[in-house]
Amino acid sequence: MRLYSGHSPDFIRDATRNQIAEQLRTAFFSYYGYQPSPGEVHSWRNSLRAMKDVMEIAQLHDHGVLLEFQLPLSSKRIDCILCGRDQSRQDRAVLIELKQWEKCESAEPEKLVRTWVGGRQRDVLHPSVQVDQYRQYLADTHTAFHDGQNPVDLVACSYLHNYVTTQGDPILSPKFSEVLQAARLFDADDADELAGYLDERLGAGGGLPVLERVEQSRFKPAKKLMDHVSMAIRSHSPWVLLDEQLVVFEKIKATVRSSGLGRRKQVVLVRGGPGTGKSVLAVNLMADLLRARQNAHYATGSKAFTETLWDIIGSRSKATFKYFNSYGSAQPNEVDVLICDESHRIRKNSNSQFMRKESRSDKPQIRELLDAAKVAVFFIDDKQVVRPNEVGSTKLILEAAAVIGAEVSEFELEVQFRCAGSDGFVNWIDNTLGIRRTANAIWSGHEGFEFRVVQSAEELERKIREKAAEGLTARVAAGFCWPWSEPKEDGTLVDDVVIEGYKRPWNAKPGSKRVAAGIPTATLWATDPNGVNQIGCVYTIQGFELDYVGVIWGLDLRYSLDEQEWVGDKSASADSVVKRSGDRFIEMVKNTYRVLLSRGMKGCYVYFMDKDTERFVRSRMEYPRETTLELGEAAEPRGEYK
């Protein structure tokens, strides 16, 4: 999708007559169904007039012009693409990021600068970083730029037409030297230099046939992108398939192969509890499909998990590792295989609180996912729903598949790869919380998994720090029983979690980009070593595996010894969304603690703020005599409570 496509003489004429912004406004309304903001129209008017002046200097009179070109399966739009040929007759397209900035400041994160955007100072991508990512994304995903013997050559630059750089300017900092070579930056005094840059790359004209190639291009990941992501995944040694994981893996591959034989749409449903290796299987499947040149995508509803994968695999993986809400504009069957991990996080629809009313859709998110893929693979744990707006379930998927007449294959993962391979521990959690009846009513501690109840939050943190000092991954997490503050002015975090004399901050709030040095963002809290200094909640830990987890069990879920049942207390919860879940509150909070307790692969320590709840859980524990004292002298004998 683009808002404008045309011949350069027409663009220059329309921009000279001040008509181009109005044409973009009309096209925007026609496509999106609502008016662009006045600020966006103002930026079109100013930036495209400046771009017109440069094109006249360069005498680009036989070129293709694309404005507001939307990246496939993304909401991002490229400001300007100029198409033409160089003197050797090579087809070429130049991406140009246009900025109205007048100055910027340095920012601590590696690829960011700080400038006035959207009515306040913000940390944003350096323009050359931004446009070079757009270039790489297009080169990786659009056939015009990677298919055939003579793909369109793609280059990128940025033009800050109101900006005059000075000596030592942060935007020219040495830390950006590499990206400034890949994607040059031109400022207000560089109109002639930019004109020369464009003439060198597009001077032979003939841009309309090149523009046509770009517009007729289709979405298909390049082989080199597939190889890059596949190799990055395979080189990550912990991602190894074992036993039934490999059995399910091979069965899914066979289903994918058969889908190419003209069979109807395929839906694969893989169920499994915590630690059964759903994500390990999903990521390995992604690597294998890419290596086999399948147009495969991996999607989740977890910002933390997705951005961690981007961090591990590299920014190029953004072309194929996406969110559930990325497929509203996808063409039918645009993706060969869509792997949906953590499908219990599928939402009712893909609308967000920031969407305009006019752009909202009533189409269910599950239907968007099914429509986009020839084969849709769903990995799910029906007992991990922790927010009322998450509607993903086995029932939902099967019903939606039946509506479209899809052929369904179902698999179950049962072998435990977390909690030291202990099926019994996860089953015991489920039984103790009353989520489901299992044979594991008592935790005996004989299965190689270290589970301990501690007497204070200080002791809990000390044990977790000891494990982290040994080089193990270890974090403290808690029920959402305290408010979550924005960072202070200096970027440090507020000590929100307060238990008598114990005070610690939550991990950085999602969306808080200006945090002090050494504090990881919310999405990287579970994997950054400095995450041990903050408390995580279910939204930042769900989907991750740690060696050891420490859990602060708050007062939002208590066991009543008098009533012999679990009681949910909304007044003790700081989760405004879950508090509005009505009768489902206790279900959501039980699932929350189930997720927290099952994150550790080797051990879990718990501190209970409510002593009756602690006594009840202890009554469901039976340890050998030599280890009883490790639980603390207050341990209750088994069997006192039912």
Dihedrals φ, ψ of 96, to 5°? -130, 120
Residues sharing a CB contact under 8 Å with residue 559, sequence separation 6 or more, in sequence order: 565, 566, 567, 610, 612, 613, 616, 617
How many other CB atoms are there within 10 angstroms of residue 222's CB atom?
A: 19
- pLDDT at residue 496 is higher than 50: yes
Structure tokens at 439: 């044979």
- pLDDT at residue 434 is higher than 70: yes
How many other CB atoms are there within 10 angstroms of residue 291's CB atom?
A: 17
Give the residue, 286 or 229, on which the prediction is more confident.
286
Q: Cα(381)–Cα(390) distance, rounded to whole angstroms?
A: 12
Tell me if the pTM is above 0.85.
no
- Mean pLDDT, rounded, for 183-208: 95
- The 10s digit of each residue's pLDDT in 287-325 is 888 878 788 899 988 777 777 777 766 667 777 888 899
The upper half-sphere exposure of residue 602, i.e. CA atoms within 13 Å in the direction of its Cβ, equals 10
Question: What DSSP string describes 276-291?
Answer: S-HHHHHHHHHHHHHH
Reported for 392-401, long-range contacts at CB under 8 A and 24+ positions apart, including other chains, are 392/301, 392/343, 392/344, 392/345, 392/346, 392/347, 392/366, 393/344, 394/269, 394/271, 396/346, 396/366, 397/267, 397/269, 397/343, 397/366, 398/269, 400/364, 400/366, 400/367, 400/370, 401/267, 401/370
- Mean pLDDT, rounded, for 379-394: 84
Report the pLDDT value the prediction gives residue 191, as an integer from 0 to 100: 96
- The 10s digit of each residue's pLDDT in 73-91 is 666 789 999 999 998 899 9
CA angle 33, 37, 42 (to 5 degrees): 130
CA angle 328, 332, 337 (to 5 degrees): 90
Match 């400001």 to its residue by tokens.
Answer: 79
- Mean pLDDT, rounded, for 352-381: 85
- pLDDT at residue 642 is higher than 80: no
Average pLDDT of the chain is 85
Residues sharing a CB contact under 8 Å with residue 206, sequence separation 6 or more, in sequence order: 62, 84, 85, 89
Q: Cα(263)–Cα(559) distance, rounded to whole angstroms?
A: 52
Structure tokens at 390: 């998450």
Contact 595, 542 (CB under 8 A): yes
- Mean pLDDT, rounded, for 172-184: 93
Banded pLDDT at 187 (limits 50, 70, 90): very high
CA angle 15, 18, 20 (to 5 degrees): 55
- The 10s digit of each residue's pLDDT in 533-591 is 999 999 888 877 788 999 999 999 999 999 999 999 999 999 998 998 888 999 999 99
Q: Where are the alpha helices (DSSP H) in 373-444?
A: 394-403, 423-433
- pLDDT at residue 629 is higher than 60: no
Report the pLDDT value the prediction gives residue 244, as an integer from 0 to 100: 62
Report the pLDDT value the prediction gives residue 257, as an integer from 0 to 100: 80
- pLDDT at residue 420 is higher than 80: no
Which of 535, 491, 546 minimizes the C-alpha distance to 517? 491
**For every residue of 544-607, which 3-state class applies, written as one string?**
CCEEEEEEEECCCEEEECCCCEEEECHHHCCCHHHHCCHHHHHHHHHHHHHHHHCCEEEEEEEE
Report the pLDDT value the prediction gives residue 317, as an integer from 0 to 100: 72
Q: Cα(426)–Cα(593) distance, rounded to whole angstroms?
A: 12
Q: All domains of the chain, ordered by start, with CATH?
A: 2-216 (3.40.91), 223-413 (3.40.50.300), 424-631 (no CATH)
Looking only at the bridges linking them, the beta strands covering 373-380 and 321-323 are unpaired
Report the pLDDT value the prediction gives residue 641, as an integer from 0 to 100: 27
- The 10s digit of each residue's pLDDT in 208-248 is 999 999 888 776 665 555 555 555 555 544 444 555 676 67
- pLDDT at residue 449 is higher than 60: yes
Give the residue, 636 or 116, on which the prediction is more confident.
116
- Mean pLDDT, rounded, for 270-286: 79
Give the residue, 217 or 50, on which the prediction is more confident.
50
Least confident residue range of 27-41, 448-462, 497-511, 554-568: 27-41
Coil, strand or helix at 178 = helix
- pLDDT at residue 637 is higher than 50: no
Q: Cα(373)–Cα(384) distance, rounded to whole angstroms?
A: 25
Strand partners, 4: 67
Contact 421, 447 (CB under 8 A): yes
Contact 480, 541 (CB under 8 A): no
Residues sharing a CB contact under 8 Å with residue 38, sequence separation 6 or more, in sequence order: none
Least confident residue range of 58-62, 253-257, 333-337, 469-473: 253-257
- The 10s digit of each residue's pLDDT in 126-169 is 999 889 888 888 887 788 888 777 899 999 999 999 999 999 99
